[in-house]
Chains A and B, each alone.
Chain A
Amino acid sequence: MLHLIVCIKQVPDSREIRIDPVNNTLIRQGVPSIVNFYDLHGLEEALRIKDEHGARVTVVTMGPPPAEKALKECISLGADEAVLVTDRKFAGADTLATSYVIAKTIRKVEEVWGPADIVFCGKQTLDGDTGQVGPGIACRLDLEQLTYVGKVVRVDPSSRKVTVHRFLEDGIEVVESSMPVLITALKELNKVRRAPLPGMIRAARYKPYIWTTEDFPDLDASKIGLKGSPTIVSKTWVPEVRKINGQAVGGESEREIAGALVEQLWKPVCRKNSGGHREGRESACLREEKLNRPPIGPITAACW
């Protein structure tokens, strides 16, 4: 039976995050935590492989104790086991230290539940956005790596081959790889299922495995937590919001307002660029000429 390991992370719900206007840091207080959604697509793919071929799905995460909730969500969706790696000594880890600990965790998971065939990670996390941990794990475990995967075409347990589509900026790359392999998931990979009721009940009762530094006797203390993290955040800032100069159109009647609006829509580019960039003005005017627009007839005001 295939063994699929899914690496997840509990992150603040980015839809509810605000920036402190004074010191430009994230306001995390009161922000609910969720499973990084790229990771959920990785889990969903693992569950689909499980549905089709039969597999054991193990979920791992590194984080503080509340991350247990994220693991329970994965259990509710159909994962078989979940492991939380937690210790104050892991705190402050950057992507280098994180990939080191997760790689160690995967090795330990393999000792308990058998060797991994496919390791899934999200493309990146919503809070860090680096996309480095997945490749970091693959590198440390000497796994093939398939990043930016938007479709898993085929998984063949007998030939131990995986065929995927990698969604790149300039096209789609169809790649076949042998197992064991690490895949980083895009949101296009699949539609995440809704947990079935038995899964919800199992999750409510389930206690994830909790591993601390004591469970990893060969851990190099210089490679974990803050000590093992060479990344320095020298500055953070909020990009300025681009200002768009809006213009209000008015009139006495709906007919007049609509007329004024159409007037503006037909003639903005040439007017705006009249004192601006030459190339812009010319090309904009050319575009307007090419439109060969019909004369504007009487406008019927519509109510909406």
Chain B
Amino acid sequence: MARAGLSVVLLERGEFPGAKNIFGGVLYRKQLEDIVPEFWKEKGFPMERHIVEQRIWMMGKESVVTFGHRNEAYKQPYNCFTGLRVKFDQWFADKAVQAGAIPVYQTVATDVIREGSRVVGVKTDRADGDLYANVVVIADGVNSLLGKALGIHKEWRPDEVSLAVKEVIALPKEKIEDRFNLEGDEGVTIEFMGETTLGMAGMGFLYTNKETLSLGVGVMVDQLREKKVKPYALLEAAKQHPMIRKLIQGGETLEYSGHLIPEGGYHSIPPLSGDGWCVVGDAAQLVNFVHREGTNLAMTSGRFAGEAIVEAKGRGDYSRASLQSYDRKIRSSFIEADLKKYKGMHQLLKEQDPELLFDKLPHALNEAAYQLFLVDGLSKAQKQKTAIKLIKDAAGGTVNLLKLGYKGWRAMNG
């Protein structure tokens, strides 16, 4: 918008952009490149490491079954990067400021100003704090004050949000490279589930940064409440797991943070625009929790909103009808397609016993793998039979396993 010559004020409640934000730590090239072409060539770009390998771990009590992919092709061009929001957001906001946006930090937008059904600005927590505008882009995150003021979402239900806790752990560069088999700026991401979420629906992550590791675990808030588990206990459990412990040992914890993540999925997306407003990012529930994608959906929805507003300015019309070009851009993009694809996941997680999906099955899988790889004089046919039985038993029998597989397939495919 600023590049197109519009007068833009960037309101941020933190001392600086990124001061109040956390994320796991993966940024995707494609979505960022659409906004800042060839950004990775920029000297000041706050990249931590470019990811050449992604691993998925199913955790047993003292074991892990791994699935992963490593490819040199991820270097040309890069696919994704690890980053730290405290650095990235400042760099990203500076792009807007350089383009002419006016930065106003340490300021909270507390309410919208309306004239009839039309939003004409925001109230802030500063003296003389009313700010009038043709369009308000609501981008105030998971606990969107403006979204609530507009009535487009109420307080989240505990089964619509997860709580992620994260530590940034310092380790010498050389140790990170040795432990994760990396060279230079190469990086690895590990997503893990099973033992480490203590029987609750959720996942953990371990990402490599330049001289730190980002380690976190996120679980649904309703289950955290039900099990009466403290968030830090969850992270501690992950840190004690032998597979994680060996990777982080000797590290010094630099930061501990926690944040809610909207995970209601496709069905929780509110109306995306109205007379004089658009809603983007977490405030609009645009998070693909299956693929840990939130920041790139936020950036892309922000870009679409910006484009729609520039078009609306061209028409001199900021009405709901005019701003619905933003909705159309979302609907015809990967954002809607991806969230629609997984629209059944939320229901699946609600219906299924989390212990089955996040505890019994991962453990059975580990036991099955152990039996398969153990050479103890039994025939391979017997071993295969034992392994399959372990998984079937964990699911409560063949029929239940097939049912679960079918439900899972349905949930993953719209």
Contacts and interface: CB of A to CB of B under 8 A. Distances in A.
Contacts of A193: 127
Interface residues of B, number: 12
B129 interface: yes
A198 B102 CA distance: 12
A197 B102 contact: no
Nearest to A198: B128
Interface centre among A194, A195, A197 (most CB of B within 10 A): A197
B103 interface: yes
Instruction: Please report whether the interface of chain A is mostly helix, strand, loop or mixed according to DSSP.
Output: helix
B102 A195 contact: no
Interface in B128-150: 128-131
Interface in A186-210: 193-198, 200-201, 204-205
A272 B411 CA distance: 73
B286 to A, nearest CB: 29
B126 interface: yes
A196 B9 contact: no
B223 interface: no
A204 B104 contact: yes
A194 to B, nearest CB: 7
A201 B126 contact: no
Contacts of B124: 197
B107 interface: yes
A197 B126 contact: yes
A197 B129 contact: yes
Contacts of B104: 197, 200-201, 204
Contacts of A204: 102-104
Nearest to A76: B104
Interface in A69-104: none
B107 A197 contact: yes
A194 B103 CA distance: 16
Interface in B106-127: 107, 124, 126-127
B295 to A, nearest CB: 24
* Interchain residue pairs A-B with the least CB separation, the first 7: A196-B127, A197-B126, A204-B102, A197-B129, A196-B128, A200-B104, A198-B128
27 contacts: A193-B127, A194-B126, A194-B127, A195-B126, A196-B126, A196-B127, A196-B128, A196-B129, A197-B104, A197-B107, A197-B124, A197-B127, A197-B128, A197-B129, A197-B130, A197-B131, A198-B128, A200-B104, A200-B107, A200-B126, A201-B9, A201-B102, A201-B104, A204-B102, A204-B103, A204-B104, A205-B102
Interface of A: 193-198, 200-201, 204-205
